[in-house]
Amino acid sequence: MHAPDPQALSPAAERLPFYRQLYVQVIFAIVAGAALGHLYPVWGEAMKPLGDAFIKLVKMIIAPVIFLTIVTGIAGMSHLRSVGRVFAKAMAYFLFFSTLALVIGMVVAHVVQPGAGMNINPADLDQTAVQGYVQQSHQLTLIGFLLDIIPKTLLSPFVSENILQVLFVSVLFGLSLAFVGEKGKPITAFLEALVAPVFKLVHLLMHAAPIGAFGAIAFTIGKYGLGSLVNLAWLVGSFYITSALFVVVVLGAVGWWSGFSIFRLMRYLKAEILLVLGTSSSESALPSLMEKMERAGCKKSVVGLVVPTGYSFNLDGTNIYMTLAALFIAQATNTDLSLGQQIMLLLVAMLSSKGAAGVTGAGFITLAATLAVVPEVPVAGMALILGIDRFMSECRALTNFIGNAVATLVVARWDNALDQDALARALGTPPRAIAAAPNPAAGPGDPTAVNAD
């Protein structure tokens, strides 16, 4: 449906010279930015506006992409009950794997003990550096989060940064178009025609991805230095290894059960993965992810519902980070937590993590919100990880991004809304190998099955 992207966003990109492929350009930009930040830290810090500008460019187009995808997808549905069915399945998936990620982070913290032996006195820590995050965390109450989904006006979501408000308005408008029937078809046709130029704009913006990645990584290395990776390296290493195992083992098993390889999926999304790595924000690749999931055979309505919702409710990397970092602070400050207190920490983290969007720093804010509710763990201990949080943010964003890509394919297959041939072409997998994979939820007699065509 969409024009192919000349910068490694389509299979045809493999025939381009390597230096014209987006992921190669992003790799070069990351290396060059890291070198500049290390050799000339002052210049590296000065590159921050380049990364910020690219993130703003992407945020500019996110709301239109979500709106058009969801509205045209829902308006084209023959059975509106499928909207609620897809949403319910997506939320069930998100709840299970988000909770699993929290539990895994907690288990790893107990096994690895990254904070043991540090013997930090919370009273000796400088709390001024984390006060801003603590103040922001007070806004992350459950009721406040739910009320914030409802926008002030019908148009206000398009000038804000709240993805769930855009999702809310888009679903309502799509349902309204579907209910009015023939009268709504001219509007639906107009919006479908508008999809092509909007996604073409996405492709044009992606040409600036190397510049954004260069600026973001140069600033990170220039401000914090490569030496920041040495400090508290045990915690950083534990988090990266845990996240990698979660992607390869847990999400890999989910992918295998659903009939696709996690490694082929990551190869298919390599340009977006490198972009997330360079910018430390999974939001920077959201428009491209939505288009690529459609190209991989997922029904438009499923992509429109699952991807934006997952960016607030399916943050696997953030969840692993929250329990691992919380227990690290407890261990470092010699704070003994009973089993009941740890369960309370887990339950609070389940709620507070749902308010985090896929943007830089959200994980640190939600960690502050969690610790504020569980007073046994000193919030001042967050000062221990403030210096390395930027490096952990990259891993959080990568894990979140891959987790949402997997969730989209799984929910689409679960709802029989996945074109197996298109997925095979996108991932370079023999169609018969995918078709032979077991369906994780729906058998051949599933009454909720719908035709993917």
The residue-averaged pLDDT of 263-279 equals 89
Least confident of 69-78, 124-133, 404-413: 124-133
pLDDT at 2: 42
**Residue 442 within any structural domain of the chain:** no
**Rounded to 5 degrees, what angle do the CA atoms 305, 306, 312 make?**
105
pLDDT at 114 over 90: no
Q: What is the DSSP letter of 230?
A: T
pLDDT at 441: 42
**Residue 446 within any structural domain of the chain:** no
φ/ψ of 201, rounded to 5, equals -60, -40
Q: Give tens-digit pLDDT for 133-191.
A: 554 544 555 566 667 778 888 888 887 766 778 878 888 888 888 888 788 888 888 98
Q: In percent, how much of the chain has pLDDT > 70?
A: 74
pLDDT at 202: 79
The residue-averaged pLDDT of 411-432 equals 85
Q: How confident is the model at residue 1 (pLDDT cuts 50, 70, 90)?
A: very low
Q: How far apart are CA 231 and CA 345, in angstroms?
A: 26
Q: Nearest CA to 296 among 405, 197, 371?
A: 405
Q: What is the mean pLDDT of the chain?
A: 77
pLDDT at 77: 65
Q: Give tens-digit pLDDT for 337-356.
A: 888 888 888 877 776 666 55
Q: How far apart are CA 359 and CA 329, in angstroms?
A: 23
Number of domains making up the chain? 1
The residue-averaged pLDDT of 198-202 equals 82
**Residue 423 within any structural domain of the chain:** yes
The DSSP code sequence of 100-159 is HHHHHHHHHHHHH-TTTT----GGGS--GGGHHHHHHHTT--HHHHHHHTS-SSSSGGGG
The DSSP code sequence of 355-414 is G--SSTTHHHHHHHHHHHHSTTS-GGGGGGTGGGHHHHHHHHHHHHHHHHHHHHHHHHHH
pLDDT at 100 over 90: yes
Q: How far apart are CA 447 and CA 453, in angstroms?
A: 17
pLDDT at 219 over 70: yes
Percent helix, strand and coil across the chain, each to the nearest 5: 75, 0, 25
Return all residues near 349 (Cβ < 8 A) that are at least 6 apart: 102, 319, 322, 323, 326, 366, 370
**Residue 443 within any structural domain of the chain:** no
Q: How far apart are CA 437 and CA 261, in angstroms?
A: 11
The residue-averaged pLDDT of 118-147 equals 58
Domain with 378 in it: 11-435
pLDDT at 104 over 90: yes
CATH (domain of 89): 1.10.3860.10
Q: Which residues pair with 418 in a beta bridge?
A: 298
Least confident of 72-81, 143-152, 315-324, 355-364: 355-364
**Residue 373 within any structural domain of the chain:** yes
pLDDT at 445 over 60: no
φ/ψ of 418, rounded to 5, equals -125, 125
Helix/strand/coil for 27: helix
**Residue 441 within any structural domain of the chain:** no
The residue-averaged pLDDT of 9-37 equals 71
Q: How confident is the model at residue 406 (pLDDT cuts 50, 70, 90)?
A: very high
Q: How confident is the model at residue 310 (pLDDT cuts 50, 70, 90)?
A: confident
Q: How confident is the model at residue 97 (pLDDT cuts 50, 70, 90)?
A: very high
Q: Give tens-digit pLDDT for 369-378.
A: 677 666 777 7
pLDDT at 264: 94
The residue-averaged pLDDT of 301-310 equals 85
Is 311:427 a contact under the CB 8 Å cutoff? no
pLDDT at 256 over 90: yes
pLDDT at 5 over 50: no
**Residue 395 within any structural domain of the chain:** yes
**Residue 6 within any structural domain of the chain:** no
